[in-house]
Amino acid sequence: MKLPRITLVSLLTDSVALKHLRVAGFRHAVAATEYAYDMARERDICPDLATKAALLHDIGHTSWEKQGEWDFESYDYFDIHPIKGSERAHELLILKGEDLGKAREIALAILFHSGSSPINKNLKPTPFQKLIMEADDVDEKVDGEHHNVEIPLTAALKRLELLDEKIARFIDDCNEDCQDCPKI
């Protein structure tokens, strides 16, 4: 029996996500999610899994502001947001009732999403993990500027609603059990 789907809107409107995703910016989270959806459909990877990982990929960010500006140098050197994000996303997903296999894969993709992180040394990413890295990179701008351009929460939720509708159609047509799905 399939579990009821945890939607992107239900994830972003959770108080934990609202608090932490705001730091790296809703715009970047939503843009990466849209890229991840397109890439997942092109590459035959589960779009439900890909969009959730992309939406939550920067949930581990903490504020690196200095006098109102993003302090990119300090962030680049000291940051551990993939580690924090992996744990936060996993906890959020489990609380929401996500499939345990999906929650694990999403947490791992978040852990490895940053190519410059020391934990990525010698990593051979899976196709899914690679997709999340790339969906993030497509939206990247010099000196972390992609974290500074913001959109209102209402606009972010509208864009996620559209993706949720597309993913619901995909899930309805999907005959795989998440546990042994080759698209993960």
Contact set with Fe ion (CB under 5 A): 58, 114, 136
Alpha-carbon span 61 to 173, nearest angstrom: 35
Do residues 25 and 150 touch, judged by C-beta distance below 8 A? yes
Tokens linked to 140 = 């990247």
Q: What is the largest CA-CA distance in the chain?
A: 52
Alpha-carbon span 184 to 134, nearest angstrom: 16
Closest distance of CB 104 from Fe ion, Å:
19
Closest distance of CB 171 from Fe ion, Å:
26
Paired with 66 in beta bridges are 69
Q: Which is nearer to Fe ion, 105 or 136 (CB)?
A: 136
Q: Which is nearer to Fe ion, 34 or 58 (CB)?
A: 58
Alpha-carbon span 27 to 29, nearest angstrom: 5
Q: Which is nearer to Fe ion, 93 or 178 (CB)?
A: 93
Q: Which is nearer to Fe ion, 102 or 146 (CB)?
A: 146
Alpha-carbon span 154 to 159, nearest angstrom: 9
Do residues 138 and 9 touch, judged by C-beta distance below 8 A? no
Closest distance of CB 136 from Fe ion, Å:
4
Do residues 49 and 128 touch, judged by C-beta distance below 8 A? yes
Paired with 65 in beta bridges are 70
Closest distance of CB 119 from Fe ion, Å:
12
Q: Which is nearer to Fe ion, 137 or 165 (CB)?
A: 137
Closest distance of CB 184 from Fe ion, Å:
21
